Structure 1
Amino acid sequence: MSQHVYPLNDGTEEKAFKLRTRPWAATFLLVGGLAALVLGLGISVSLGAKDIELYTVWQAIFNFNPYNTEHQIIQELRLPRVLGGAMVGASFAVAGALMQGMTRNPLADSGLFGLNAGAGFMLSLCFAFFPGLPYMYLIMYSFLGAALSAALVFGIGSLARGGLTPLRLVLAGAALSALLGALSEGISLYFRTGQDLAFWYAGGVAGTKWLQLKIMFPWVAVAILGAIVLSRSVTMLSLGDDIAAGLGQRTKLVKFACAVIVLILAGSAVSVVGAVGFVGLIIPHLTRYLVGVDYRWIIPCSAVLGSLLVVLADLAARMINPPQEIPIGALIALIGVPFFLYLARKERRSL
């Protein structure tokens, strides 16, 4: 295991802070993960209700024939679906990594903190009062819902004696998620928009269109690049505000920037895939275990592993009981719930 050194602002090497990191493991993970992701994307496009050869997939991408039915299936249905899944997985994973780093909360996740429920609640309002709203506006309302939910969760968690703790934040997020979920269902029943909202509750990328990806991609790309730029500062924050301030970090400004990035990633992902949780909880922990504690490696590796997880989960959702599809949110929850219980038990012991 190698050591990485961050010198303090005064330039004295005696006060340099050492962080454990495994750059060789991170490099291997990035290269191997990207290769596995490309292979997973190809297999996911080729398999489905109608199996298509990988050579045909290659031809449909680089030599599209609009009169070929298989090419049309690939271009109009399967490619946007798998690419949307990859972007959503990267968004949730990077958002979770940022939240865990800046709050020093191992249970932090956009779903557990109520961001997904807040975005879904705003979408239910849009379906009820503004039917046919353009997708660009749906993304903006998702951002707003996620922001309001985050503010409420942190406000409720701060009211308890002793201030914020990881478990209190999760409990506040669970309570708010239950409330917003019930309100969303009530609105859908009253205004008869249950069919539109059912997709968001189930979680899935089956209905992803190229227009959604064109609107979503710039937001996600800029947000992930911003997370990478802030990764060194997030590493400092993960060690505590006092240490970060001693290393010259403007902690409040960094936290605000990270919060904006998390809202962009969570809001855009929920607007496409719906209520899929635990990706941002599982992937950052797995990444830290593999590459160490340096967020300059954690964030890009989390993006790759998050994309791979959602793409493979979507493939499994289509292949377990064809031609029926299982919501990918349910499949990921089969892993995420036991993992969350393990982390909660571990966190309780440390209190």
Structure 2
Amino acid sequence: MKWLAVFLTLVGLGLALGWPQFSQLAADSWRRHGTPRLQQPEGWPRPVYDFSGNPLSRAGFELGRALFYEPKLSRDDSIACANCHQQFVAFANAGHRLSHGVNNALGTRNAPALFNLAWQPSFMWDGGVHPLEVQPLGPISNPVEMAETLAGVVRKLQDDPRYPPRFAAAFGSPRIDGQHVLLALTQFVGTLQSADSPYDRYLAGRVRFNAQEQRGLAVFRAQCVSCHREPLFSDYSFRNNGLDAEPRDPGRAHITERAEDRGLFRVPSLRNIAVSGPYMHDGRFETLDAVLAHYAEGIVSSATLDPALRQGLKLDAADRAALRAFLDTLTDERFLHDPRFADPGEDS
């Protein structure tokens, strides 16, 4: 089917303006002209996802936004995507180690933050889903999450008088099908773009870092950048970061069935990391300080431990404090409070 195709790389526009300036211009353009845009900030790689196969429109974006906040996507109409992905914490799951599903079911992994997904080549902690359009099928069909079928979602939306006109506006027909449900969701989540943090403004020469933040950036570039590559702050590889000697969750090996992939998980982006805990694939660390302590003194050896971590990271107390200050500069407050991405039921 068309929505299962792997799309070609999007040819992004080079921007003469610094990204923070352009971010505001893009937001204003949405409001004036009514059409969402995915932009390629200066210095960023081209996105992986190609919207030419799913042309962005205001109607499609707003439909996807409504579906993201729609509990009808779950079997008992109680759980929406937004239940586990809340905007004020970068669409992570505030205060919950693991995802919660229908009938109080508890998932096995932490719900990740959602942003810059158009640059991400695969999804889920084990990379078992791609391309972006297919990703919503995972939580929709997972028995410990939404526990629904795509056919069931389509049936409920078709019976809701609010939705056929919205699908007609977005895709030309009031007859709802699963492909268009996924395409609409992709128009929303694929444009959740975060690129206006103090770090981005620093790169653009619009703000200065204080001495602690500057030291933290130096520590980061010396110790962390091999996995958390700028400007996306992830290389989207799969690595064992020393959590367990014998991982209970096989991680990437669940997909590849290769012993050498046991305990490997996708490297998450560090953008908005200060607000998107708990941390790790199982949410075991509640604070960033606990995460930094793990890398400095808590690495557990195993057969698949990433070679870069075999000696741990050389982080003394001053380094950790500086690194913590730098990580705070990756929080994009505009993204966390952008009304374009909020629950449409809260629109005034």
Q: How high is the TM-score relative to the length of structure 1?
A: 0.25
Greater share of residues in helix = 1
Q: How high is the TM-score relative to the length of structure 2?
A: 0.25
